[in-house]
Amino acid sequence: MKRGKIQTLCALTQEEQEELFQAFLSTCQWNEIFYLWRPNLDDVGDDFLIELAVASNSRVIITDNVKDIAFGELHFDIEALTPKEFLERYKR
């Protein structure tokens, strides 16, 4: 949420964005990572996303960088969706 591109696209003020971010963080839970699944992805800077998703039993990683997540050497039951795809699929 702190990236310039995201802040530019967001209709919220900086203060509202910070409030939303803090509300989101209040619902999060820390997960310990016991295994490092590295190297796995072509962009090793993204490997931590797989490790976090596995440790937290996540089914979806939401990212604009779907192509790098989708073609890992190791395969897990985790889907990579863009924010737009996620919102379209799970809107009520």
pLDDT tens digits, one per residue of 2-60: 778 878 888 888 899 999 999 999 999 887 887 787 878 888 888 898 898 888 899 99
Q: What is the pLDDT of residue 60?
A: 93
The structure tokens listed for 78 are 């985790």
- Per-residue pLDDT tens over the stretch 80-89: 999 899 989 9
Cβ neighbours around 92 below 10 Å, total: 2
Angle at 85 between CA 25 and CA 42, to 5 degrees: 80
